[in-house]
Amino acid sequence: MSAATQLLKQHLQQRQLQGVTHIPLRAEALEKLSGLGRKPAIREMPEAPKPIAVESALEARRILDNPPPETKKAGLIEVAGASIEEKLAALRAMAETWEPALALNSLRKTMVFAVGDPHARLMFVGEAPGAEEEKLREPFVGPAGQKLTAIIKAMGLDRPQVYISNICKFRPAMDNQGSANRKPTAEEMKACLPFVLTEIDLIKPQVIVALGATAAEGLGIPGSVGGLRGRFHSTSGIPTMVTYHPSYLLREEKMGDGIHAKRQVWEDMLKVMEKLGLPISEKQRGYFKAK
């Protein structure tokens, strides 16, 4: 093996450890590398940009350390780490001082990231933290969070088995705020969007549930919950169910018993359970059916 090929191989292994899975190389470079036992690391990009001549060891180092922008997945943040846990920790650290969000001056400064299993098959996405979430620095711990936890339990799961995140990582600010909360604006969600997209890319859940129309809009699924719920949409290719936000269920409960809204959310969750292949008992099928 030539010195250049050896160096190239080392760099590919290094990039793979950093989580990079695709590097565009022209056919000659692939040929040189064949037989090195690392083929998955050097799969050709499906839409390979201009061929890159790997002519010398120095050139190889330059190209591998500075991949052309086309090789970075659109809208994602590149994070270093040997495991999903390490990458999520690096991502969380970056979110703490995320300038595009903080520069808006419309969000508070305490970052609330996410909670749950980095290997979860099911991910819930809300809109933004509220007062309780900001205090405890954990999403969905206030009244809406307790409702969400009850939904998760009704599905036969425990909260630590799923992953819970928000599109916007900071509590939206208001004048004379006290304990009042507001929905994040499209601009505030856009500033934080790379985080939730990168979380999705790292966790690779089998199903996402978008809680409410704001979260759905943040994920690129615009519309009313009434019009979107009951069927799967797609977020980066992952089946995504849109359902009512737990706060809506709480409001409906206050105005009556809220059984109709609860049944609608539950029907959405039954579809999610079916998609995940979770067992569903007759009792579960019957929850919130009007008598």
Contacting residues toward ligand URA, per CB under 6 A: 126-130, 133, 139-140, 142, 144-145, 166
Least Cα distance to 141 among 104, 195, 181 occurs for 181
Nearer to ligand URA, 133 or 217 (CB): 133
Taking the least distance from each CB to ligand URA, the nearer of 77 and 125 is 125
Judge whether 260 and 286 are in contact, CB under 8 Å.
Answer: no
Minimum distance between the CB of residue 184 and ligand URA, rounded to whole angstroms?
9
Closest CB to ligand URA among 88 and 128? 128
Express the helix, strand and coil content of the chain in percent, nearest 5 each. 45, 10, 40
Give the nearest distance from C-beta 165 to ligand URA in angstroms: 8
Task: Please report how close the Cβ of residue 284 comes to ligand URA at its closest, in angstroms.
Answer: 25
Report d(CA 220, CA 144) in Å as an integer.
23
d(CA 98, CA 193): 11
| CB of residue 251 to ligand URA, shortest distance in Å | 13
- For ligand URA, the closer CB: 172 or 205: 172
User: Closest separation between CB of residue 180 and ligand URA, Å?
Assistant: 13
Tracing tokens 């936000």 back to the chain, one arrives at 245
> Cα–chain-centroid distance for residue 221?
14
Strand ranges (DSSP E) for the chain? 107-111, 114-116, 122-126, 163-166, 170-172, 207-211, 232-235, 238-243
CB of 115 to ligand URA, least distance (A): 9
Alpha-carbon distances, residue 290 vs 30, 245, 253, 262, 263 (angstroms): 63, 21, 15, 11, 8
Q: Would you say 208 and 200 are in contact if contact means Cβ atoms under 8 Å apart? A: yes
Give the residue closest to ligand URA by C-beta: 126
